[in-house]
């Protein structure tokens, strides 16, 4: 069996389920808007830069601020700061919560200053480590881009602190929609200067715009935060008990989340040795594959972490609360992630074509991105559910267990990625460019191992968790049938424009999946349908 759990799934109390689902919806709404703007940015980026060396350089350079934002935002602060801060709020100790928040802000400001200084000075060495396959003008351009972007890194780190405060106070939407400002700044640079300057200068202008966008992302969160956190006291005093707890947890979580983020750099490092455009195509595909992970994995994990962290009572009571929330979250994740993976496998060409195929980006590029998306589908479900299990560990103040399993995952990613990207294409007699698809598929295999390790350890600690294998099989069957219907519609349309194909075929796919799962009595389908009806009722 793929996943095991008792046959009778516990039903949550309506109020708890409503709050849990509501928080996840707000996170998902914010992430959806920010990711959509990210895809709009990618659309114009591919239009003006395609799979050029400048596109490779920018895709490599922008990974550094993305890495630090994900590390500090979703990672370190979510796992080390939110459990302590949320517990203080649950206990009604606003004064201590304000002191902890102020001390962590001061500490992060100091860290951000050091990071920016080191990043600007060591950019040439960072590029040699992260993209050793880059040489000549491409390497020099990547170095300049990293140096231009690094001041924005400090602002994004402070923005992550805002996210921790707002999430703990159940203000999910603002913190996750704020990256829209970051993307808008870069989109504006592309629209203003695209086609008017050469590609190298265009990416430099976009890099400068990214720093302005980072400042906007921080600025839009501060007014609401200062209204909510009236007891904020800025200091660098890390001697207080609760501050020490955050700092103590900071190290293991930093390395644990850092190890997970490094797996993305392993892919980039290996892709830099492949043919030109490989790093850019990997980035384009990841922009798409991260959408369902962010919407459903991050949304559910982010909304559940403060709730699980605030669980009080005896050991058995806390374990029961976490177990219930885990199972609810896993079922919601599976309902949305499985059809996403099936779409990447069978309909990835029209997804990539609708988003990217224009200007410098041709049909060949679309098919290339499809192959990489198909590879990412291998571990999409495991990687997303693994995020929720990691959050459950962090909620129990255990940061070491996820670190151990993350290290195993990265080691396996490196070994399998090297074989799949650099050796396997030659063994199979296919173009080297398909090594990028091998990278994402091998990373998916490693994600499954990490997931099984996380789940096994959690089951030993709090009792059996997971989804029945029959439920998983039913969702995959529904997605496969819906995808086959959509594929037949695509073939029958007889048009080549990818936007029209995507609008019709993907709509058919979504409706077919929802119809099949509704008829099968899947509770998440009924919930989704009810939300849609509620939206239409309000609109009318």
Answer whether 517's CB lies under 8 Å from 478's CB. Answer: yes
Residue 339 in any domain: the answer is: yes
Given this model, what pLDDT does residue 6 score?
Answer: 37
Given this model, what pLDDT does residue 268 score?
Answer: 78
- Give me 13's structure tokens: 């109390």
* Helix (H), strand (E) at residue 448: helix 435-462
Residue 529 in any domain: the answer is: no
Given this model, what pLDDT does residue 430 score?
Answer: 92
**CA–CA separation, 222 and 452 (whole Å):** 40
Residue 472 in any domain: the answer is: no
Answer whether 194's CB lies under 8 Å from 202's CB. Answer: yes
The span from the first CA to the last CA of the chain, in angstroms, equals: 46
Answer whether 150's CB lies under 8 Å from 177's CB. Answer: no
One digit per residue, the tens of pLDDT, for the chain of length 540 reads 344 333 334 444 444 444 555 556 777 777 778 888 888 898 898 889 888 889 989 988 887 767 766 666 555 666 678 778 888 888 888 888 888 888 888 888 888 888 889 888 998 988 888 788 888 999 999 999 999 998 888 888 888 888 888 878 878 788 778 889 999 999 999 999 988 899 999 999 999 999 999 999 999 999 999 888 888 888 877 777 888 888 777 766 666 666 666 676 788 788 888 888 888 899 889 888 888 887 777 777 767 777 787 776 778 888 888 898 899 999 999 999 999 999 999 999 999 988 888 887 888 989 999 999 999 999 999 999 998 998 888 888 787 888 889 889 989 999 999 999 999 999 999 998 999 999 999 999 999 999 999 999 999 999 999 999 999 999 999 999 999 999 899 888 876 778 888 889 999 999 999 999 999 999 999 888 887 777 666 655
Answer whether 29's CB lies under 8 Å from 288's CB. Answer: no
Given this model, what pLDDT does residue 11 score?
Answer: 43
Question: Which structural domain, as residue segments, surrounds residue 240?
Answer: 14-467
Residue 393 in any domain: the answer is: yes
Q: Residue 499: count other Cβ atoms within 10 Å of its Cβ.
A: 14
**CA–CA separation, 368 and 362 (whole Å):** 10
Residue 485 in any domain: the answer is: no
What total of structural domains would you count in the chain?
1
User: In the Cβ-directed half-sphere of 291, how many Cα atoms lie within 13 Å?
Assistant: 25
User: In the Cβ-directed half-sphere of 66, how many Cα atoms lie within 13 Å?
Assistant: 18
Residue 498 in any domain: the answer is: no
Helices within 50-178 (DSSP H only) = 53-61, 63-70, 82-90, 94-130, 136-168, 172-177
Check: pTM over 0.85? Answer yes or no: no
| DSSP string of 146-179, one letter each residue | HHHHHHHHHHHHHHHHHHHHHHHTT-HHHHHHTH
Given this model, what pLDDT does residue 377 score?
Answer: 95
Answer whether 73's CB lies under 8 Å from 302's CB. Answer: no
**CA–CA separation, 110 and 187 (whole Å):** 30
Residue 7 in any domain: the answer is: no
475 secondary structure, DSSP code: H
198: left (phi over 0), alpha (psi -120 to 50) or beta: beta
Residue 532 in any domain: the answer is: no
11 secondary structure, DSSP code: P
């Amino acid at each position: 069996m793929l996943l095991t759990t008792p046959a009778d799934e516990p039903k949550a109390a309506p109020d708890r389920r409503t709050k849990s689902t509501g928080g996840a919806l707000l996170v998902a709404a914010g992430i959806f808007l920010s990711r959509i703007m990210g895809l709009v940015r990618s659309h114009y980026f591919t239009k003006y830069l395609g799979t050029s060396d400048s596109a490779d350089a920018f895709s490599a350079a922008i990974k550094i601020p993305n890495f630090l934002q994900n590390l500090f935002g979703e990672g370190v602060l979510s796992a080390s700061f939110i459990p302590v801060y949320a517990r203080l709020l649950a206990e009604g100790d606003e004064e201590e919560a304000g002191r902890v928040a102020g001390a962590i802000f001061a500490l992060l400001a100091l860290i951000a200053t050091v990071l920016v200084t080191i990043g600007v000075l060591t950019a040439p060495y960072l590029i040699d480590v992260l993209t050793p396959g880059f040489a000549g003008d491409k390497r020099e351009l990547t170095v300049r881009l990293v140096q231009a972007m690094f001041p924005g890194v400090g602002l994004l780190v402070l923005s992550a602190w805002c996210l921790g405060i707002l999430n703990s106070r159940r203000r999910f939407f603002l913190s996750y929609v704020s990256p829209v400002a970051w993307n808008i700044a870069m989109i504006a640079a592309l629209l203003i200067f695209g086609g008017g300057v050469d590609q190298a200068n265009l990416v430099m202008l976009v890099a400068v715009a990214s720093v302005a966008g980072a400042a906007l992302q921080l600025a839009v969160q501060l007014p609401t935060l200062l209204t909510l956190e009236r007891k904020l006291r800025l200091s660098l005093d890390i001697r207080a008990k609760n501050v020490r707890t955050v700092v103590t947890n900071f190290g293991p979580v930093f390395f644990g989340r850092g190890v997970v983020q490094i797996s993305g750099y392993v892919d980039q490092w290996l892709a830099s040795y492949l043919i030109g455009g490989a790093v850019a195509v990997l980035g384009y595909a990841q922009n798409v594959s991260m959408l369902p992970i962010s919407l459903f994995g991050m949304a559910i994990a982010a909304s559940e972490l403060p709730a699980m962290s605030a669980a009080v009572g005896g050991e058995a009571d806390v374990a029961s609360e976490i177990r219930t929330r885990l199972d609810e979250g896993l079922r919601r994740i599976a309902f949305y992630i499985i059809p996403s993976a099936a779409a990447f496998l069978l309909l990835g060409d029209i997804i990539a074509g609708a988003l990217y195929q224009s200007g410098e980006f041709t049909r060949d590029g679309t098919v290339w991105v499809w192959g990489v998306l198909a590879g990412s589908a291998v571990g999409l479900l495991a990687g997303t559910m693994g995020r929720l299990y990691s959050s459950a560990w962090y909620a129990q103040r255990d940061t070491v267990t996820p670190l151990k399993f993350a290290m195993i995952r990265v080691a396996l990613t490196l070994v399998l990625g090297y074989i799949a990207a650099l050796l396997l294409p030659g063994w199979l007699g296919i173009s080297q460019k398909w090594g990028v698809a091998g990278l994402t598929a091998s990373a998916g295999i490693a994600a499954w191992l990490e997931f099984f390790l996380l789940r096994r350890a959690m089951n030993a600690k709090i009792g059996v968790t997971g989804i029945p294998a029959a439920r998983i099989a039913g969702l995959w069957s529904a997605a496969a049938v819906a995808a086959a219907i959509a594929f037949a519609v695509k073939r029958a349309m007889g048009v080549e424009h990818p936007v029209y194909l995507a609008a019709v075929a993907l709509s058919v796919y979504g409706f077919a999946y929802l119809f099949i799962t509704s008829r099968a009595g899947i509770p998440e389908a009924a919930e989704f349908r009810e939300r849609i009806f509620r939206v239409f009722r309000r609109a009318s």
